[in-house]
Amino acid sequence: MIQHYPDQKLMARMTAKMLLELGAIRFASERPFTFTSGLASPVYVDCKRVISYPALRGTLVDFLLATIERDIGRDNFDVIAGGESAGIPFASWIAAKLSLPMIFVRKSPRGLGPNASIEGDLEPGARVLLVEDLTTDGASKLQFCKALRRAGAQVDHAVVLFFYNIYAETVSGLKRDGLELHWLSDWWAVLDAAREMDVFAGAELENLERFLHAPLEWSGEHGGATRIGTA
């Protein structure tokens, strides 16, 4: 068990720097990125790149474990669940480190019945920790959470490597649905790290800062949705 937890701000800054070093932070060169929610963004984070770099991957998994043990508690869940598909490798590494059963949750059900979205054995009443790579507005986390609860699981916590942390009421909205979100890093940490590392042009950083302070307005100005949950 991890007894001495790294400082949360230090982990956020180090995670941001590692994502920048991996090339996982991308600026739109011509047209904005558009999420499935319809929201437009000048930047995108590709956490899937982490899986190809064992040393950095191991450090980030240790950071996730420290966050889990500090903020949730190892004795408060029985099963690790990964969300299809990017959450699956992170969930498997965490489950292996903690010697816990693992399942994964599909985006769409296959077949009928309460377990149609679940792959693996899930006992009714099991306390499940949902693991994902990232969260934008929280919609997919609620989708996975509802699927797990339909199958009889108790789901109170989700942990992600990266949280956008710019859309108002994402965290409070998840809490209203009984889900508490935990994360390693966010766009604010990336902005600070990018300035420190001098990895992007000044205009790109200025555009990023404008987006972070008013993401819905920026989205609307660039042809995207202007409200969470609208296209």
Give pLDDT tens digits for 150-164: 999 999 999 999 999
Maximum Cα interatomic distance, the chain, rounded to a whole number of Å: 53
Residue-wise pLDDT for 81-115, tens only, equals: 999 999 999 999 999 999 999 999 999 999 889 99
Would you put residue 34 in left (φ > 0), alpha (ψ -120 to 50) or beta?
Answer: beta
Q: How confident is the model at residue 29 (pLDDT cuts 50, 70, 90)?
A: confident
Q: Is the pLDDT reported for residue 229 higher than 70?
A: no
| Chain Cα centroid distance, residue 146 | 17
CA–CA separation, 185 vs 134, rounded Å?
Answer: 10
DSSP class of residue 170 equals: H
Give pTM, 2 decimals.
0.94
pLDDT digits (tens, 9 = 90+) for 45-85: 999 999 999 999 999 999 999 999 999 999 999 999 999 99
Separation of alpha carbons 185 and 49, rounded Å = 16
Query: Helices (DSSP H) in the chain: which residue ranges?
Result: 8-21, 54-71, 87-98, 139-150, 170-176, 187-197, 202-213, 215-221
Kindly list the structural domains of the chain, giving each domain's residue range(s) and its CATH number in brackets, ordered by start. 8-221 (3.40.50.2020)
Please give the C-alpha separations between residue 68 and each of 142, 159, 182, in angstroms, as whole numbers: 19, 7, 8
What pLDDT does residue 1 have?
46
